[in-house]
Homo-oligomer: A and B are copies of this chain.
Amino acid sequence: MVADGEPVETAEQQSKKAAKKQAKEAAKAAKKAEHKEAAKKDQESNVEAEDYSAGKYGIAKLIQSAETHSDRKFVKVSDLSQFINKGTVWVRGRVHTSRSKGKQCFLILRQQSSTVQCVIAVGDEVSKQMVKFSGSISKESVIDVHVKVVPVSSSIESCTEQKLELYVCEIYVISAAKPQLPLQIEDASRPENLDDPESLNIRVNQDTRLDNRVLDLRTPANQAIFRLEAGVCKLFRDILTEKGFTEIHTPKIIPAPSEGGANVFTVSYFKDSVYLAQSPQLYKQMAIAADFDKVFTVGAVFRAEDSNTHRHLTEFVGLDLEMSFKYHYHEVLHVIGDTFTAIFKGLRDNYSKEIAAVGQQFKVDAFKFLEPPLILKFSEGVAMLREAGVETGDEEDLSTPNEKLLGRLVKAKYDTDFYILDKFPLAIRPFYTMPDPNNKMYSNSYDMFMRGEEILSGAQRIHDADFLIERAKHHGVDLQKIASYIEAFRFGCPPHAGGGIGMERVVMLYLGLDNIRKTSMFPRDPKRTTP
């Protein structure tokens, strides 16, 4: 077998060691795959049989950019239907599954979310040795195949390309996977059917997935989740840019805890200590005071909270915005609400394939929203909860169960998975929140919810230095620590409001997933900082 695996390109100054090792691994896999009987037959008949496919298959030498192979026409799996019966093309993909059957080998080749069947069958151009070699390639290896695209009479149900298959005339291993994988892509991709207790046995658990994220991310659902996540960021930025916002970048290294002191990570900074920003709050507001008028920023946000829940991370991506207004913070509230509506529409219209791919694995009801979005007062929310039998105080924050219950009540009454809760009690908001001028108990602040979970918190901020001091004192905030924050409002600052959105939460809740670790590519929580 190793002889088959020799480099097909003449080596000039190659790294032989690496190539040899690749060959060895593939050979090992091949040995396992071989049936004893086949091995026996080989011994009898193969000794002198000429390999007329020699040079048309094997382990390619490590790609070090020695050649360009510019004559090879590569086609994406999803574009193959355009090449049916039109000469030969090249495809690079992974071995998803492999099945040998007498003189034939069937490989399913996977390329991101697309799959296609390859047939390597003994014939005029394909030798027995080439078929055997093909069957020996370990799953998840990256291969190049030179193929004819042919139509099939009955649909191939197990592939995304169901109307065609590929007749292989050359096959090379570009990068071999080790034969023993810590998880199988098929298992990691299996639909979660909560009604079927049997299915629990064949799912891959969260930690195994995250420990082997490079494999886990190859499932169709994960390929879709992170493409849709990129879409959320793109929509957020494009919509706000269209509305006249300017993107800014705010420092993650800050000299003092920005919001009072709890829950910040400390960093050794030369001979000093600094902190990781819990939000871009101060800097967004400084940009407003510096005449940028409307700003947004997308970046890492850090929370040193020992919260081990389905929706907390220690590092996440914040989609933050801040905007000056003329007289009423609802000018901003409506901009944010409209931004969400436009994001939901953009996802629905441009990411339907991704939403469907996630739906294949995770059963989810389509996300519903109203246009314009529903705005309720906090007090109205409290009234709805009380009507449902919940005891809750006028100035009491929503507990997680109450938040979820209210989401269900709102859904039942208004048929929307997104709504805005306005006018939160002043007592439960940060010191820089503008009080309601008409009712001492409330404030000009709001939260926004998706499927009954908070995804944005925002408010009109106090833009007057002395009033800010008064409120900070009331909250027992150390004025020394926020001196530069206060100073920023001594040079004239327009009234402004804004909010911060947790990106991973938006994706999780839009798709109806059950854990924020599913929507963070490399999640960080109190117990996980790897890989």
Contacts from A to B (Cβ < 8 Å): 12-15, 17-18, 21-22, 62-69, 72, 74, 92, 94, 111-112, 140-142, 174-178, 181, 213-218, 222-223, 226-227, 229-230, 233-234, 237, 241, 246-255, 265-270, 272, 274, 276, 282-283, 286-287, 289-293, 298-300, 302, 304, 306, 314-315, 317, 326-330, 434-440, 444, 460, 463-464, 466-467, 470, 484, 488-495, 503, 520-522, 524, 526, 529-531
Contacts and interface: CB of A to CB of B under 8 A. Distances in A.
A274 B313 CA distance: 15
B68 A328 contact: yes
B12 A251 contact: no
17 contacts: A18-B466, A18-B467, A21-B466, A62-B467, A65-B328, A72-B327, A94-B492, A112-B291, A214-B286, A214-B491, A218-B290, A249-B317, A251-B300, A253-B314, A267-B268, A274-B529, A299-B299
A12 B440 CA distance: 12
Contacts of A177: 490-492
A326 B529 contact: no
A176 B222 CA distance: 52
B92 A326 contact: yes
Contacts of A467: 15, 17-18, 62
Contact of A437 (B64, B289, B484): B64
A292 B69 contact: no
B466 A65 contact: no
A22 B491 CA distance: 11
Contacts of A64: 434-437, 444, 460
A492 B26 CA distance: 11
A346 to B, nearest CB: 13
Contacts of A63: 327, 463, 495
Contacts of A439: 13
Nearest to A232: B247
Contact of A524 (B253, B463, B464): B253
Nearest to A485: B531
Given A177-B492, A315-B252, A234 B247 contact: yes
Contact of A22 (B265, B268, B464): B464
By CB atoms of chain B within 10 A, which of A227, A230, A464, A492 has the most?
A: A492
B440 A175 contact: no
A314 B111 CA distance: 39
Number of identical monomers bound together in the oligomeric complex:
2
B247 A233 contact: yes
Contacts of A253: 302, 314-315, 524, 529
Contact of A286 (B65, B111, B274, B531): B531
Interface hub of A247, A266, A435, A463 (most chain B Cβ within 10 A)? A247
Given A17-B467, A286-B531, A69 B326 contact: yes
A494 B92 contact: yes
Contacts of A266: 267-268
A212 B69 CA distance: 58
Contact of A140 (B142, B437, B491): B491
B326 A270 contact: no
Given A267-B276, A315-B252, A444-B64, A226 B246 contact: yes
Nearest to A330: B65
A426 to B, nearest CB: 12
Pick the 9 closest A-B CB pairs, nearest first: A217-B290, A18-B467, A177-B492, A64-B437, A230-B247, A63-B495, A66-B437, A65-B328, A21-B466
A104 to B, nearest CB: 24
Contact of A241 (B234, B293, B520): B234
A418 B22 CA distance: 40
Given A274-B529, A291-B218, A250 B521 contact: yes
Contacts of A520: 249
Contacts of A306: 270
Q: Taking each of A21, A74, A491, A531, which has the highest tally of chain B beta carbons within 10 Å of its own beta carbon?
A: A491
Nearest to A531: B484
A65 B531 contact: no
Q: Which of A266, A317, A524 is the most central at the interface, judged by chain B CB atoms within 10 Å of its CB? A: A524
Contacts of A524: 251, 253
B438 A181 contact: no
B248 A226 contact: yes
Contacts of A217: 286-287, 290-292
Nearest to A467: B18
Contact of A65 (B141, B233, B437): B437
Contacts of A92: 326, 494
B494 A15 contact: no
Contacts of A215: 290, 491
